[in-house]
Amino acid sequence: MDHRTAVSDFLRTRRDRITPEQAGIIGGSRRRVPGLRREEVAMLAGVSVEYYARMERGDLAGVSAEVLDSVAQALRLDEAERDHLDDLARAAGPRPMRRRKKACEKGVTPAFQRFLDAVTGAPVWVRDRRMDFVAANALGRALYVPLFEDPSGRANTARFTFLDPAARLFFPDWEANADGIVATMRTYAGQNPLDKGLTDLIGELVTRSDAFRQRWSVHDVRHHRAGAKRIHHPVVGDLELSYEAMDLPANPDWFMFAYTAEPGSPTEERIRLLGSLAVTDQDISPRSTT
């Protein structure tokens, strides 16, 4: 991924989505761009047209935090987009970025797996920035059983979503789920553009999946913190779950997700059934080889 192109495309796509009316600008009847013009963004941000044009050509080197704030306000960036702009600016700084030290070299410790296994009433699982499965409790493995049926043996949520036809049945809201995965990966790529594992995965999916490639070109970003997810499980049926995402300071490249069901709901009953099946049926809850 070329950094200057990533910067240019991100700023342009943010500019294209804002109408003159939204920005309080009298647009006129003849416009050749779908959103704001460069000079209009420059005016709103309080910088010269030449300065903003340089930014949109992909050059963020030396741009101050104050200018980034002004441009973010002019483009109406949300929190995730503002953080992404900061990441892009940091990558363009005068000092070359250092590769992030691998935090997963020692793998899942026995103590960490014991912690996961101690959680028995809710599915809990961990993945890394490259969307690879890392670890889970019994319910977490049982919940995501189709993920482990990839004949390549690579339990990766992005590959499963975009390359396995079973994903569209497993995720009833497949379109929204796919949007979220790509936006999250775009965020991670901005945070660490030197992550070869992630860039290789992105290159693979851009090549193999039209759905991924189209979403990647939109340059949406997001913080994956909490939300709702619907799953059609092959054994227990339809599930409506809430999830919370948690950072793991000891392993900054890992993220833990915990799922809960509304008390007294059919989903809660089905999760209990899945838990009892996971204890006795190894085909439902295969263990990772990590």
Task: For residue 130, give the DSSP letter.
Answer: T
d(CA 275, CA 259): 13
Nearest to 224 by CA among 189, 261, 180: 180
Burial class (CB in 10 A: 0-12, 13-18, 19+), 118: exposed
Q: Tell me, what's the pLDDT at 2?
A: 85
Within 107-194, residue ranges assigned H as helices are 110-118, 138-143, 157-163, 166-170, 174-191
Nearest to 82 by CA among 178, 223, 217: 223
Q: Tell me, what's the pLDDT at 105?
A: 52
Q: Tell me, what's the pLDDT at 290?
A: 37
Q: Tell me, what's the pLDDT at 29?
A: 59
Per-residue pLDDT of the chain (290 residues; tens, 9 = 90+): 688 999 999 999 999 999 888 888 876 557 777 789 999 999 999 999 999 999 999 999 999 999 999 999 999 999 999 999 999 999 887 654 454 555 445 689 999 999 999 999 999 999 999 999 999 999 999 999 998 887 655 799 999 999 999 999 999 999 999 999 999 999 999 999 889 999 999 999 999 999 999 999 999 999 988 999 999 999 999 999 999 999 998 899 999 999 999 999 999 999 999 999 887 764 554 443 33
d(CA 257, CA 126): 6
Structural domains of the chain, ranges and CATH numbers in brackets? 3-91 (1.10.260.40), 110-280 (3.30.450.180)
Q: Tell me, what's the pLDDT at 34?
A: 76
Q: Tell me, what's the pLDDT at 40?
A: 92
